[in-house]
Amino acid sequence: MTPAEHGNITHVMQSYFDGLYHADSTLLRKVFHPKLAYVCATEGDALYLDLDTYMSRIDQREAPAKRNEHRRDRILEVSIKSPRLAHVSARMTMMDRDYLDVLTLVPYGGEWRVISKVFSYVEKDA
C-alpha cells in the first residue's frame, strides 16, 4: 500500500466519521457507493438497508454533534487487497453505544467508496 493510497482511504474515513457525527447525509452520500449494503450484525437486531433507506434514517436522526456528545472514532485497520478492493475496520462511540464497523471499499468515480458496511455493538472501551 502506498502512502497516497492510505491517505485517500484515511480521507474517506474522516468524511465517514464526520458524516455520522453530524448526521450529514449529503457528506455520507459522497462516502458510500450507490449500491451500498448496510448490515447490522448484532444478535436480535438483524437489519439490512440500501443507501436511500439508510440516508433517510440519517436525515431523521438528531446529530450527536447537536447534542454535543463526546466523540471517539478511530481506524483500527486499513488493508488494500488489490487496486479495486480495500477493507477497513473502525471503532466509534456514538449515540451512547460503541460500534465496530467492518467496511469494504471499491473504486467508484475515481475515488474509494464504501460498498458494504457491516457493524455490531461492542463493549465500551475503558
User: What string of pLDDT tens digits covers the 126 residues of the chain?
Assistant: 677 778 899 999 999 999 999 999 999 999 999 999 999 988 777 789 999 999 999 999 999 999 999 899 999 999 999 999 999 999 999 888 899 999 999 999 999 999 999 999 888 775
Cell representation of residue 92: 466509534
**CATH: 3.10.450.50, 3.40.50.12160, 1.10.3720.10, 3.40.50.300. Which one for 3-121?**
3.10.450.50
Q: Where are the domains of the chain?
A: 3-121
Which contiguous run of DSSP H or E holds residue 7? helix 3-21
User: If you search the block for the grid coordinates 449515540, which residue do you land on?
Assistant: 95
Number of CB atoms found within 10 A of residue 71's CB:
14
Q: Report the half-sphere exposure of 76 (CA within 13 A, side-chain side).
A: 11
| C-alpha grid cell, residue 14 | 474522516
- Listed residue (121, 103, 102) closest to 32, CA to CA: 103
Q: Of 59, 57, 41, 39, which is closest to residue 114 (Cα–Cα)?
A: 39
From 10, 23, 32, select the one nearest 77 (Cα to Cα). 10
pTM for this entry: 0.92
